Structure 1
Amino acid sequence: MSTSPTRHSNRGNKPKLLVVDDEPDNLDLLYRTFYRQFQVLRAERGRHALEILAQQPDIAIIISDQRMPEMAGTEFLGQAAQQYPDVMRIILTGYTDSEDLVEAINQGQVFKYVTKPWDEDDLRETVQQALDAHNLIKTRTADLNRVLRQETLLNTITHRIRSAQTPQDMLQTIVDVVGRSLEVSYCSIRPYCAQPSEESCFTYRADAVQALATENSSIIAQTLWPTDRVLVLESVLEASGNQIPDAQERLSAFAALGIQSSVLVPLISRKDLVAVMALHRCQLERPWAADDLQLLITLADQAALALAQAYTYEQVQALARREALINTITSAIRSSLNPRKTFAAITGQLGHCLLYTS
C-alpha cells in the first residue's frame, strides 16, 4: 500500500525530496529527518514513485531503498535517470558489493549510496551535497539554454538582415523575428534617420491580437518616440509623464491597443538615432527579464549598424542616379539645337527617373 504525497505548510518555497521504501517505518524516519528542509513526497513502490515523478517533474532528489518488491531500487533509479536526468539519486542498501549496485553507480544512475543502518548526520550531508549538485546543474542548464536561445536569435536576425533587399524589408524582418521569439503582442520599429512619418512604422502582431486588429499605423506610431536609452514600462498605466512625452495622447493609443507593458529600445549608430524598436505586451503576466533586455540591446546594436549601412547604400544609389540623369540631360541639350527635341528628351528622362524611383 502506498501513501499520498505529504502536505506541509509553506512547502512551495522548499525543494522536493522523494523517498521510496517499502517499509513505512523507514519512510516515516526519512520524513522526520528532512521535512523541515524539503517538501517530502513518499512512495512504497518504484512504480508509484515513477507516477509521482510524472506528476511533479521538478523533484530535486530521490532517496530509494534497494530491496523492494516488484522493482529493485537500481531498476527504478535507472528509469528515473533516463526520464529525469537532472534529479539527484541516492540509494539505500545493506549490500555494498551487489553487482546491480556497482553497475548503477558506474553508469551514473546513482549520485551516492548510503549503507544501512545509516547515520543521520552522514545522510544529511549526502543529501545536502546532492541538493548543491542539483542546483548547480539547474543553473548551468538555464545559462546554457539562455546562451543558445540568444545565439539562435542573433544568427537568425543576422541571416535574415543580410538577405533583405531593402531597408524596409530589413525593418519588417526584425520585428517579425523579435516579436515571435520573445512572444510579445506587438513589436514595432519606427525609423528616424530619414524623413520619418507615421506610415514608416513597421509592426509585428501576434496571432492573439491579429484577429482583433482594428488599429491603423498612426495609432501604432504613437507608441514609439525618440529616445537615447532603453525605456522599460512594466505597467503603462502607472508610467509617469517624465517617461512618456505627450502622455495623454500616447496613453490613449496604448489603451486603444490594449497594451499593458512595454519596452523601447533605441537603434543608434555612430551616435545617430537610426530607429526605435518597441515591444508591447497586452498582459502583465511577468516582468521584462534582464536577459531579454540585454539581448534586445545586442540586437539593436547589430540592427542599427546594418540599417545605417543600408540607408547609406540607398543614398549612394540615389546620388548615382541623379548624377546619371544630369549627364543624360546635359548630353541631350548639347546634341540638339531644336528646343522641342531637347525638351522632349529632358521630360522623357525625368519621367523615366520618377517611374524608377517610385
Structure 2
Amino acid sequence: MNNPNVEVDTINRPLSSRERNQKLKILVVDDEQDNLDLLYRTFRRDFNVLKADSGSNALQLLEAEGEVAVIISDQRMPEMKGTEFLSRTVPQFPDTVRIILTGFTDIEDLVEAINAGQVFKYITKPWDSGELKEVVQRAAATYDLLKQRTEELRRANSQMHLLTVLVEVTQVASSLEATLIPIAKAFSETFTADSCIVQLIEGNTLTETQGAYSDKGVVDNWLSQDPLAKNAIATGQIQSSLNIPKDPNLNSLTHYQAAGVEAHLIIPIIYRQQMLGVLSLQWQEPCYLRADELKLIHLSVELIAIALSSSYRGLEV
C-alpha cells in the first residue's frame, strides 16, 4: 500500500474474530444453587460466565445470548437430564464445547452422548477445582480452534465464489454496466465489506458508469472527492486507510464521517497499462488485511480488468 500511515502486514476480517483480550462466554447449568455459585466463582476471572438453574432455562438463555464457547452442565437435574439438554444445543451451536458433571454412574447416557459428539468430557462430582479448570481451558482452546477452522473454510468458500463470479462475468457480460454490480456484490461479500463501488475511468477521470453494492441498501458515492481515490488514479497504485479515526490525514473528512466509514481500500483496475476503473471497499469498523487476502485482491482485480476490457472490445465492435 502507498499510504504511509497504514500497516497492511495483517488482514483479518474486520473484526469478526474476537479480540484476544475479550473474555469468552461460558454457560454453567446446575439445579443446586451452591454448585452454580461455586462454578461462577471458579471461572469468572477468565470467562464471561452465564448461569442457569435448569436445562429449559439454559435453552432460553442461549436463545437470548447466542453462542457460548463452553457449556458445563450437571447431569442429574429435574425435568431434563444434562445429556438431553446438551443434545438439544448441538444443531444451533455445533462449535460449542460441552462438559457434563455427574455424581452418578449414568454410563449408558454418558457413553451415548460422548459417542454422538455431544460431550467433550465428563467430570465426576465432587470435582477437583484444578482439574475442572484445566479441562475448561482445554475446551476453550478447542472452541477457538474450531472457530478458526470454520472461518478458514468460510473464507475459502467465499474466495472460490468470488473467482467463479468474476470468471462468469468475464465470459457472458454483454455490456459494461452488466459487469459492475455483480462484481461489487461479490467483492463486498468475500471481504465482509459494508459497501463496494466499482467505477469506470476515462482519461484519469471518474465517469458516471458505476456499480455499487451494500447489504444495507443505497451506497453514497463520494469517490470523486476522496483523496485516496485521487491518489490511486494518479499513481496507479492501491491506496488504503484501515483505521480512519486514527489517520490524521482523513479523520476530519466529512464524507467519511457522514457515511460512517472507518476503513477504506481502493484498487486501480488496469489492463495493459490502461486504467479502466477503480474498486473501492469500505468498512464501518477498522480492519486488518491478511497477506493471502491481498494476493486474492490482486488476482481478482486482474480478472475484473479482463472482464472490463472484453466489454470495451464488444462495444467497439
Report the TM range for the smaller structure's normalisation.
0.7 to 0.9
- Measure the CA separation in 2 of the matches of 1:184 and 1:33: 40
Q: In the superposition, relative to structure 1, how do residues 63 and 153 fare at CA in structure 2: closer, same or farther (>3 Å)?
A: same
- Measure the CA separation in 1 of the matches of 2:285 and 2:88: 35
Which among 42, 59, 79 is matched to residue 70 of structure 1?
Answer: 79
TM-aligned CA deviation for residue 167 of structure 1: 5.0
TM-aligned CA deviation for residue 52 of structure 1: 1.2
- Measure the CA separation in 1 of the matches of 2:82 and 2:188: 47
The aligned residue for residue 237 of structure 2 is 229
Q: Which moved more, 1:21-30 or 1:70-79?
A: 21-30
The aligned residue for residue 262 of structure 1 is 264
- Measure the CA separation in 2 of the matches of 1:100 and 1:236: 54
- Measure the CA separation in 2 of the matches of 1:190 and 1:113: 61
Where do 1:1-358 residues align within 5 Å? 13-167=22-176, 169-171=178-180, 173-175=182-184, 177-178=186-187, 184-185=194-195, 187-191=197-201, 198-199=206-207, 201-204=209-212, 206=214, 208-209=217-218, 223-224=229-230, 225-234=233-242, 235=244, 240=249, 260=261, 262-269=264-271, 272-279=273-280, 281=282, 285-290=284-289, 295-308=296-309, 311=312
TM-aligned CA deviation for residue 90 of structure 1: 0.5
User: How high is the TM-score relative to the length of structure 1?
Assistant: 0.67
Q: In the superposition, relative to structure 1, how do residues 27 and 179 fare at CA in structure 2: closer, same or farther (>3 Å)?
A: closer
- CA offsets 1:83-139 (integer angstroms, 9 cap, x no match): 211111101112345311211111111111111222222211111111110010011
Greater per-residue helix proportion: 1
Structure 2 unmatched ranges of 5 or more:
1-20
Give yes or no for contact 1:91–1:113 (8 Å, CA) kept in 2: yes
Give yes or no for contact 1:46–1:76 (8 Å, CA) kept in 2: yes
Q: Tell me which amino acid in the other structure corresponds to 1:109.
A: Q
Give yes or no for contact 1:17–1:59 (8 Å, CA) kept in 2: yes
- CA offsets 1:166-203 (integer angstroms, 9 cap, x no match): 456445653454457655445032245xx565546434
- Measure the CA separation in 2 of the matches of 1:202 and 1:51: 47
- Measure the CA separation in 2 of the matches of 1:149 and 1:188: 19
Q: In the superposition, relative to structure 1, how do residues 240 and 180 fare at CA in structure 2: closer, same or farther (>3 Å)?
A: same
Q: Which moved more, 1:298-307 or 1:56-65?
A: 298-307
Q: Tell me which amino acid in the other structure corresponds to 1:267.
A: I
Q: In the superposition, relative to structure 1, how do residues 280 and 145 fare at CA in structure 2: closer, same or farther (>3 Å)?
A: closer
- Measure the CA separation in 2 of the matches of 1:101 and 1:186: 50
Give yes or no for contact 2:120–2:139 (8 Å, CA) kept in 1: yes
- CA offsets 1:209-247 (integer angstroms, 9 cap, x no match): 46x88x9x9779x95524332101343995649xxxxxx
3-state DSSP of counterpart to 2:26: strand
Root-mean-square deviation (Å): 3.6
- Measure the CA separation in 2 of the matches of 1:231 and 1:13: 31
Structure 1 unmatched ranges of 5 or more:
1-11, 242-250, 318-358
Q: Tell me which amino acid in the other structure corresponds to 1:142.
A: E
User: How high is the TM-score relative to the length of structure 2?
Assistant: 0.75
TM-aligned CA deviation for residue 45 of structure 1: 0.8
TM-aligned CA deviation for residue 293 of structure 1: 5.2
Give yes or no for contact 1:161–1:173 (8 Å, CA) kept in 2: no
- CA offsets 1:16-65 (integer angstroms, 9 cap, x no match): 22111111221122222222111222211111111111111231111111
3-state DSSP of counterpart to 1:13: coil
Give yes or no for contact 1:199–1:218 (8 Å, CA) kept in 2: no
- Measure the CA separation in 1 of the matches of 2:246 and 2:218: 20
Higher RCO, 1 or 2 (CA under 8 Å, sep at least 6)?
Answer: 2
Q: Tell me which amino acid in the other structure corresponds to 1:188.
A: V
Q: Tell me which amino acid in the other structure corresponds to 1:65.
A: D
Give yes or no for contact 1:164–1:170 (8 Å, CA) kept in 2: yes
Q: In the superposition, relative to structure 1, how do residues 180 and 81 fare at CA in structure 2: closer, same or farther (>3 Å)?
A: closer
Give yes or no for contact 1:78–1:109 (8 Å, CA) kept in 2: yes
Give yes or no for contact 1:92–1:115 (8 Å, CA) kept in 2: yes
Q: Tell me which amino acid in the other structure corresponds to 1:187.
A: I
Q: In the superposition, relative to structure 1, how do residues 164 and 33 fare at CA in structure 2: closer, same or farther (>3 Å)?
A: same
- Measure the CA separation in 2 of the matches of 1:74 and 1:308: 60
Considering only CA atoms, is the larger Rg found in Structure 1 or Structure 2?
1
- Measure the CA separation in 2 of the matches of 1:83 and 1:122: 29
TM-aligned CA deviation for residue 288 of structure 1: 4.1
Greater per-residue strand proportion: 2
Q: Which moved more, 1:159-168 or 1:130-139?
A: 159-168
- Measure the CA separation in 1 of the matches of 2:64 and 2:207: 51
Q: In the superposition, relative to structure 1, how do residues 42 and 147 fare at CA in structure 2: closer, same or farther (>3 Å)?
A: same
3-state DSSP of counterpart to 2:91: helix
How many residues were matched structurally?
287
TM-aligned CA deviation for residue 140 of structure 1: 0.9
Q: Which moved more, 1:22-31 or 1:195-204?
A: 195-204
